[in-house]
A and B are shown apart, each in its own frame.
Chain A
Amino acid sequence: MTTDTPLGITRGPGETPHEYTFISPDRTQTARGGEFVTYAAMIDGETQQILGRITGRRAVRLLPNGFLADPNVPPEAVAALIGYVGQDHDLFEIAVTILGYYDATLGDFINPRLPPRPGTPIYVAESDLLARVLSKRAVGQTGAALVGSLLSRPADEVPIAIDLRAITSTHLAIIASTGAGKSYLAGVLVEELMHPRNRAAVLIIDPHGEYNTLTQMQAGKEFAAPDGYRPRVDIIRPDDVKVRTSSLTLGDLRYLLPDLSERMHYVLGRAYNLAGRKYGEKWTLAQFRMAVREAEQEISGKKSPAEEAEALSQDDDYGTAGAVIWRVNSRLESSRIFNDFESLPLARLFHPGQCTVLQLNEVDGREQQVVVATLLRRLLQALMATEKRQVDQGDENYLPYPAFVLIEEAHNFAPASADLVSSQILKTILSEGRKFGVAVGLISQRPGRLDADVLSQCMTQFILRIVNPIDQNRVAESVESVGRDLLRELPALSKGQAIIAGAAVNTPVLCRVRQRLTEHGAEDVDAPARWVEWFETGREQQGKRDHALPAEHTRGRNKLLKT
């Protein structure tokens, strides 16, 4: 983009000390919201380019409305009729928020805290400058994720590379309405995480089964490295998701078992502790049932174990223990996820250079939450134990590398309206995970239903189109790094356009998400095409029926005709 000609001239300071306004005819329609502009200023004896972002645009001189009355008559013709011979009759006042000049040593912008003098020429920022200063990491560097390019410039002119180190320590959130492209963006991020320069250990919680296509990374030449590296993609189908019953916490059990009375809660708690004491860490469901009965005996103290056992053997619904056991059986014994011995090994789920997709699309909602809570808890415990050298190589809890977990439909795991088992562990990871190398990425289409604390602790935000006002307000409340001016853009963003803000970029940017290298797996069903297809198939079947010989039947037509 050429920047030889000034875009406009500074009018004066704006509403706050770090804002200014300039006047421009904007012949080239450049001064759009989110565009970056610069002016030169002397800072400590050196000329610095002070970068600013356009936050508003207001017409200050326009032709009268009456001149626009006839669509067939250009308003300029009417202006010329009455003797106006000037050019650039439209003038705009452009509001700019000052970001400052980029200090490579600090890796951040330094705000001069002084608006430009009136009359200072304002230029469109050079693309080269933006490419250097907007992204925290250079494209191609380890830890850089090329997610797209600056929206206000031609495609690929100003690449936006986010800092994966910031994401994997301070978490991220991808927020968008349905169909705005959040899964697509997540796919781009995963591609970058699995690129040979990053080789991350990634787990995707996939409640809709839409990340299958990531397996293409294994064969993609873009992902192959000269040292033989190729990313591994492990899809874990719903049938293969296993959680060992004894890895459930008392909280998980209470959450899973429906309609527990106060006494049942008490019995369950006693039984849980008893099972741990008596059978060790890895108890079975049968042992847990025994523990429930024993807990009932301890509490009631009225029957001998023999009497109790006899009563229970005759009637499973006997007493509180019977009711608890009935609930345990109905929820856990019939479940294809919970079992006595098998749990998904952490080493299978998390490995550098491996992306594991945990598909939960046929799993009950509560079970999904418990599965996620259990996995995250195990992950955090393993990383803590490894960090504190409490486990060694060979131990199932040994995980000597950071891990990143991407959670789709995050509002189901940390809703604003309830405190679920998964909310608690998510909050723990969001506040303490960085110390041990576990980070999460939350993807949600309903930020209004996502816990505000959880959202506010994701320090990098990818915000795509959001139309719902409740969701917009939640984003405005929880996401401090995005200015109001950018949030105003939310309803107007198109598919694949995102606001990226927070720790992984130097300043909030409007980004055009790059094209995925793998196919997008979350395409909607083309219902009309499928209907037509069915009709065509149906007509064929109808044709076969019409030309088929009459079937022989004792009460059939042939028989009747004969009689």
Chain B
Amino acid sequence: MFGKLIKSNAHTDYVCQVYGRGEVDSPPSPADYAFGTFVRIPLSVGHGQLVGVIYDTVLLNPEFGSLGPRLSPVSDLAVFSPDYLAEKVTLVGITAVGMLAPDGMPAHGVPPLAAQIDTLVERMDDDAVCAFHRTPAGGVQMGYAPLLLGLGSPLARHLLLHVVERLGHLFPAQVATLAVLRNELAWQAAIGPLGGGA
């Protein structure tokens, strides 16, 4: 677990607050909530889990822009205004890309169910990522790719590239097919903005 949901902007767009110092025994390292990391978010009992991917990171500092002087030094603030220090948090944006049924069966695309507030968010390990992307025939699938591209974010293609790279390592037998998609995305991400044609 590296954080909890604190709000959502849309049905598939969640904001997770990353645990800070003092909130948990071992606070997560930045690698745990890196760009492109797959996460799972439990739904209510019997409905499986949401699967999402981290597509954005925001460092929140309420003090930024408050130019008034603060009389107390930082060491005193920890004693007199601990809540103030806790307001400085790291938020990550998660887009839901599918679901895992209670029996583990993956489904890609827009999940019909939404997660609840304060639900804990857990990073998925390689085996879980593999299971989510494996087709019944043993191939690889990324059925959420159009959903990510439709986000309208300038980072969407880079996010997909990141995912494809990772899947390339997890599914060596499918590397040729993944390479075609990776090359196309790389072209669109790198050359397309400079005027390269299709």
Interface residues of A (CB under 8 A from B): 64-67, 69-70, 72-73, 77-78, 80-83
Contacts and interface: CB of A to CB of B under 8 A. Distances in A.
A73 B180 contact: yes
The 6 closest A-B pairs by CB, nearest first: A83-B143, A66-B184, A82-B145, A78-B180, A70-B180, A77-B177
Nearest to A82: B145
Interface string B160-198: 000000000000001011111101100110000000001
Contacts of B139: 80-81
A82 B148 CA distance: 11
A78 B143 CA distance: 11
A66 B143 contact: no
A67 B180 contact: yes
Query: Interface of chain B, helix or strand or loop or mixed?
Result: helix
A81 B134 CA distance: 10
A59 B179 CA distance: 26
A82 B143 contact: yes
26 contacts: A64-B184, A65-B198, A66-B184, A66-B187, A69-B180, A69-B183, A70-B176, A70-B179, A72-B176, A73-B179, A77-B177, A78-B180, A78-B181, A78-B184, A80-B139, A80-B141, A81-B140, A81-B141, A81-B145, A81-B178, A81-B181, A82-B145, A83-B108, A83-B143, A83-B145, A83-B146
Interface of B: 108-109, 139-146, 174, 176-181, 183-184, 187-188, 198
Contacts of A66: 180, 183-184, 187-188, 198
A66 B157 CA distance: 14
Nearest to B174: A81
B98 to A, nearest CB: 10
Contacts, number: 51
Contacts of A73: 176-177, 179-180
Nearest to B98: A83
Given A66-B187, A83-B109, 16 more contacts: A66-B183, A66-B198, A69-B184, A72-B176, A73-B180, A77-B177, A78-B177, A78-B181, A80-B139, A80-B141, A81-B145, A81-B178, A82-B145, A82-B146, A83-B141, A83-B143
Contacts of A82: 142-143, 145-146, 181
A64 B198 contact: yes
Nearest to A77: B177
Considering residues A77, A81, A83, which has the most beta carbons from chain B within 10 angstroms of its beta carbon?
Answer: A81
Nearest to A68: B180
A426 to B, nearest CB: 55
Nearest to B197: A65
Contacts of B198: 64-66
B184 A81 contact: no
A69 B185 CA distance: 12
Contacts of B140: 81
A83 B98 CA distance: 12
Interface centre among B139, B177, B179 (most CB of A within 10 A): B177
Contacts of B141: 80-81, 83
A81 B183 contact: no
Nearest to B186: A66
A377 B26 CA distance: 113
Contacts of A80: 139, 141
B32 to A, nearest CB: 27
Nearest to A78: B180
Q: Which of B142, B144, B184 is packed against the most chain A CB atoms within 10 Å?
A: B184
B179 to A, nearest CB: 7
Contacts of B183: 66, 69
Contacts of A70: 176, 179-180
A81 B142 contact: yes
A69 B178 CA distance: 12
Nearest to B187: A66
Contacts of A78: 177, 180-181, 184
A67 B181 CA distance: 7
A80 to B, nearest CB: 7
A188 B178 CA distance: 57
Contacts of B146: 82-83
A72 B145 CA distance: 22
Nearest to B135: A80
Contacts of B178: 81
B187 A83 contact: no
A325 B101 CA distance: 111
A527 to B, nearest CB: 48
Contacts of B184: 64, 66-67, 69, 78
Contacts of A81: 139-142, 145, 174, 177-178, 181
